[in-house]
Structure 1
Amino acid sequence: MIGWIKSRFNDIRFRNKLLLSHLVIALIPILLLGLLSFIQSYRIQMKELRSEAEASLEQVASIMDYKINRYNTLSEFMVLNRDFSQIFTKDYDENYYQMYLDFRDIMEPMISNIKMMDDDIEGITFYTSGELLGIRNNILPIGELRSKAWYDGFRGRRWIVDGEKLYLVQELISNPKDSNFMVISIQHGSIFGDLDNLSEHVSVHMEDPDQHIIFQENRKRIGAVDLEKRERTDLSLSRSLASNGWTIYYNLLNTNAYANAMSIFQITLFVIILSLIITFLLIYIISTNFTRRILRLKTKVDKVERNNLDVIIQSSSRDEFGELTNGIGKMLRRINSLISQVYHAEIAKKESEYNRLISQINPHFLYNTLSFIRWRAEKKADIETSYMVSALARFYRTTLNQGRHMTTIEAEIQHIKAYLDLQLIMNDGLFDVDYDVDEAVQLEQVIHFVLQPIVENAIKHGFVEAAAKDYCIQITVQRVSEGIRLAVTDNGVGMTSEQITQLLTSKNGGCGVRNVNDRMKLYYGQDYGLVIRSEPGCGTEVSMVIPASSP
């Protein structure tokens, strides 16, 4: 460990060594004292906040238990009233007058009294499968209760929170053939209102016995910065309600305790640092005089590191540092000389390789076409002969391309059109041709003679079934995110994966697909080349992507 520290220390600049030495000797005890004061203050603050939060949680839980027990008592008061419960189990046998008296003298007075006792009750609804359906608006079929998303077939009594709706569901006394429930709708704020008015240093939420969150503190009043701080909690408290099994969770936020402790730490640290500033300034001035020459040399070496090899590094001093500077300058000049030699040798090598590949283009097609034109001309004179001669002239002109390696996409398309015009005549219109070329990319540069070998391969090896009809070749040039995509698609016999591999690696020479693939990798780099997608009987697509000069 000591050896590692020594090694790291030796790598630091000389001026920083002086500053770091003073920093280590003077600031370590200062930081230890400040850290101790911060930790002690933080612990005291957190202890006070915990005590305050525990008292608040106990108070809130007691209030909520009281409110919930109060509604439970009201519910039991109604359910245990024999006259009230018998209304739902009594067999009226179409005695509607008796039913009317029971509603007038028993049910309606009791409901009115309950609502008068608590203004937070929004309504009382009954769900039954008995004879009372349709008698009152607040008496509904039991099926509507069972269709609620929160009803799971429970019996007895349960508190339900459905969004901003709060219900107390109580099963009524039933007979074997009837099921009856009473649902009391209660204002949401009457139970949860106090939880939204807690200290800004406490966040709270509640869960039911199934650990579903039924309440979360309303944070709309809190700014975005405060929300980020409220995510850092150092203490969590919980309290279960005895009345219905709900659990209140308090998350005590450490921001207040952290801020108070930090203020003490900052005051302590400020007084000590102020006394060290003058010392640091003096050390800085002295160290600068020692390290100015080192920094000057480092600046020049940094420029060399950023590939600026034209920097002149030399010194007129005769001490050890001057000798070191002049030695680096001689080494840099030697490196520049070697790089120049390697660069020119690599250019010559690539030029030679490119010329070798482009020279492999087989001129047999031109000779065969001339022979065919001569035979047609001798046999009969017609317009087709003139057309073929014109197409051949265009093809020959674009093929030579005045000896240049690069051409425009527009010229490459003209070249392939001339070639396909000749092939259509020579093959008696065996196939159709479809062009889909984006006009916006026609002036982009591409290496010469990349489409014709691919099209030739499609006609020669793809359209071989004599009985087949509707052969078609599609030429597509479109801009894509990676650059410009050129593709040749045919609906011929297709290829297997082995045939695709052989097509790209065959050593037979000629102006084949492999030649195009090799030239693209040589000019654009190894990341470029041909992509072939084909299946037997499903045609073939050969595509390539070249970089675009403009977005």
Structure 2
Amino acid sequence: MITYMVFIILPVLAIGYFSNAMYQESIRDQTRNSIQGTLVQMKDNIEFKMADVERISSMLYNDYSLVIQLRSYEEGWDSYERTTKIIMPKFAIAVNATGLNIAMYLFLANDTLPEVYYGSFDRENPDLLERNYNLYHLKRIENKAWHRDFPPEKYGETMLWRKVERDADFSRISLLRRLVDSQRPLDLKEVGFMRISVSTEELFQGLDYKKIGDGSGLIIHDETGAVLHRSGTIPGEGREADANGGEREFLTIRESVGRQGWDLTAYVPLTIMERDSAKVRMFVILICLLCLIVFTFAGMFISRYFSIRMNKIVFVLNAFREGELHKRMGYRGKDEFSQIANALNEMGRNIDHLIEQVYMTQIEKKEAELESLQAQINPHFLYNTLSSISRLAQFGEIDKLQRMVLDLAKFYRLSLNEGRTVIPIHSELEQVKAYMNIQTTKFGEAVHVFYDIDPKILNYVTVKLILQPFIENVLEHAWFGNSIHIRISGRLEGERIVFKVIDDGVGMSLERIAQIFDPVEGLNTGFGIRNVHSRIQLHFGSAYGVTIGSRPGIGTTVRIVIPAQRRTD
């Protein structure tokens, strides 16, 4: 009995006592952290709405085209037209660019622009102006203290949240900000003044004391200490009388809100945490009693011995499931755990090796497909060119024959390109020019080619031979009369490079275009086009490739899209 008392009952009681004390402290910390997290969420909600209003003001503040209109002092019809067709639409867009019900007041320094407003300036009703705006002349507020004492302008930064005019009467608050002429940054001339009024109920909608517990309170002050909004019970000096007449203590938590440093304060009665502590205390007592019963029949050593080994196995299995196949276990001995560990280690090595093999196989397959498609283009072009050289030799046109042979050598020198599939765009264009020299030697003045290439794309790369097959297709199938015109353009459009090959030939029907990309069995049409389309998609992905637009009798436009990838050499 003495041994049982010493080794079982006394340790369990000691553990229960210290666990209860530590757990109560943990409950306090968790409660504080939980409330702090809730307060941060409320703060983020308020700052998000404030940032949304500030974003609206920045739309107008950074609109230089609006500033140009505001500093133009032409009168008469021009002033009216600028106001109604340019200035007012910009304000209308801004006031409706947020989910908040804002009322906007704009005061313009240019008194040649007409005032446009609803209601009375002196007896304003911001609630009736929600989702709308009023235009006034700046001289209306020149003597107002809130405008006169506004801080000096720092470009893009100076703005204040204040209750001005009748905001207090309607439970609202306004964002105040200048409109300045940013053309002279060292002398920011004021061309107007913005006041964007928001309902405090809408702005502080997320401040609800019920989110942190009954009997709690939330209050927010501005930087001057004035109360902007409150919710729930707000104690004086952090204490309040409870139901029994005693003083109730509060836990006070603060957060700073917005760029002006508003103070958001939460008051949480400690009785809330005491109720939780009582529950924890009862829970700990029950756990201690349960442990006494369990410890009588089981030993901690055996439980710990098996749980540690099982946890290691579960840890490695979870790592394998998440793709971390390099995790391993090491157990000594010849028991079941050691056998399981060895089997799992071997399985991880095998799976890792198989994944690597599959990955390398896919890469090799992709490279083989690209090389196969590339090899299918050159023989077709070479056959046609050698036929032309043969005809020139037959008719004794030695000069043309020499030029064509030199251009053919240049074309294949650029085409081989040391065996690389991806080449600089300028090399692709040189290859096209070498090909066109061969064709102009062959056809003379019947072929007219124009280049419209943006110099910005020359430092990017492409899969080789993506333009020549389309030009060859034009010269073989698109003749309409005794001459043909070809235009080759290249442009950088965002993150893509777009080439176009445009001709004024016979054109194609929609059925013919469909047969090119989806050929009918037994009808070999558009091999070169599909070849280029397949090579681009194999190398860059299905988001890129070739599209064709054409109308019979008008001509054809081939659009080739590749990603904008810079050279790495």
TM-score by length of 1: 0.49
Q: Larger Rg: 1 or 2? A: 1
